[in-house]
Amino acid sequence: MEGGAYGAGKAGGAFDPQTLVRQPHTILRVVSWVFSIVVFGSIVNEGYLNNPSEEEEYCIYNRNPNACNYGVTVGVLAFLTCLLYLALDVYFPQISSVKDRKKAVLSDIGVSAFWAFLWFVGFCFLANQWQVSKPKDNPLNEGTDAARAAIAFSFFSIFTWSLTAALAMRRFKDLTFQEEYSTLFPASAQP
């Protein structure tokens, strides 16, 4: 791929799906997207239990509805964020302004780091609530695999979002140099 501003080729180039799919940040974003589906899907499908003696369903994580709500909310919002940034990855080569590309990369850094933090909090919260859950609340062990899967994929999401932020930082640092070089030597920057 020819050098361009902030990790993209020349602005206005044709969309190349093979190049998009091969980029590490796109792969990590798709993996994060799948992990978020696993987390909120596990909790929505099997994260709530009902007792014949009680009217209301309760959360499998220590009967704490906040644990289930946090897992579902973070999972759904991470799912939507991944879709938004996948769309930005598709649109990114079409952005002609270096300043707009810089803003997109900076937002990628901030949003990815923020989501890594939210997944860390979610992992700690779900793991803690799972640890203090009482066996009498779930005598048949219903939904335990789904609860453990949500905890595990919350943990994995910390790393995928952190790596996405690190890749965006590297992309920002490498390509800020290109911007400075083209400012200092405008004649040599244009082929």
Can you give the pLDDT at residue 34? 98
- CB count, 10 Å around CB of 99? 10
Distance CA 144, CA 165 (A): 32
Distance CA 165, CA 170 (A): 9
What angle do helix axes 144-184 and 65-91 make, rounded to 10 degrees? Answer: 30
Q: Give the predicted TM-score (pTM) of the model.
A: 0.84
Can you give the pLDDT at residue 172? 87
**8 Å CB contact between 130 and 102:** no
Can you give the pLDDT at residue 20? 87
Q: What is the mean pLDDT of each run of 10 residues along the chain (191 residues)?
A: 51 73 93 97 91 84 93 97 94 82 92 98 96 81 88 97 95 72 61 50
Can you give the pLDDT at residue 96? 78
Can you give the pLDDT at residue 1? 42
